[in-house]
């Protein structure tokens, strides 16, 4: 159930962009990498992928850099993670974007599938509604349960 470093770095970089960008300014890979403790060349790839995915834009050359392609309130964490790490769903047979049949004889009566469907939705409910703007402004998650004692 874990997020890769690629996904984590991508999220941190986007949050960084969202919090440091104002008006027409751009931010260099190096600046982000230093603030967020991310290997420069690795971050380079990640930002490139996000550019190709339409989440950021860039200005080349000296004093160039990156900026969000859309307002921070229109970019969700779900979009970023899907782009960098693939589907949110724990198993393919409950994924909307990358569905594949599983091995069970009948999906409609598969107990495991229905639980995993719930898990997928719980994850997507959070990640598809939390925007970069929410994260930057410390918006509390709408699914937060305080009195939760389970160990993850």
Partner DNA sequence: CCTATATTCTATTGTTTTAGTAGGACATTT
Partner DNA sequence: AAATGTCCTACTAAAACAATAGAATATAGG
* Residue range at the interface with its own copies (CB under 8 A); choices 39-47, 50-58, 60-68, 108-116: 108-116
Smallest gap from residue 26 Cβ to DNA (A)? 7
69/56 Cα distance (integer angstroms): 4
49/10 Cα distance (integer angstroms): 9
Q: Backbone phi, then psi, for 132, in 5-degree steps?
A: -60, -35
3-state secondary structure of 137: coil
Smallest gap from residue 39 Cβ to DNA (A)? 4
Which of the listed partners (its own copies, DNA, none) does 125 bind, with a CB threshold of 5 to 8 Å by partner kind? its own copies
Q: Where are the alpha helices (DSSP H) in 2-144?
A: 5-20, 29-36, 40-52, 77-85, 111-127, 132-136
Stretch 5-34: interaction string toward its own copies, x if CB under 8 A: ---x--xx--x-------------------
85/6 Cα distance (integer angstroms): 7
Smallest gap from residue 20 Cβ to its own copies (A)? 13
User: 29 vs 89, which CB is nearer to DNA?
Assistant: 29
43/7 Cα distance (integer angstroms): 11
Question: Site residues (CB under 8 A) for its own copies?
Answer: 1-3, 8, 11-12, 15, 36-37, 77-78, 81-82, 85-91, 94-97, 102-104, 109, 111-112, 114-128, 130, 135-136, 138, 140-141, 143-145, 148, 150-152
């Amino acid at each position: 159930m874990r997020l890769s470093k690629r996904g984590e770095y991508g999220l941190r970089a986007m949050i960084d962009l969202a919090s440091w960008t104002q008006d027409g300014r751009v931010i260099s890979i190096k600046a982000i990498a230093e603030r967020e403790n991310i290997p420069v060349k690795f971050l380079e790839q990640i930002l490139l992928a996000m550019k190709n995915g339409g989440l950021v834009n860039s200005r080349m050359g000296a004093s160039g850099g990156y900026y969000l392609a859309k307002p921070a309130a229109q970019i969700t964490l779900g979009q970023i993670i899907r782009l960098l790490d693939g589907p949110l769903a724990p198993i393919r047979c409950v994924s909307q974007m990358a569905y594949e049949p599983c091995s069970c004889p009948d999906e409609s009566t598969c107990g495991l599938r229905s639980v995993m469907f719930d898990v997928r939705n719980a994850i997507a409910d959070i990640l598809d509604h939390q925007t970069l703007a929410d994260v930057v402004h410390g918006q509390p998650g709408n699914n937060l349960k305080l009195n939760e004692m389970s160990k993850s």
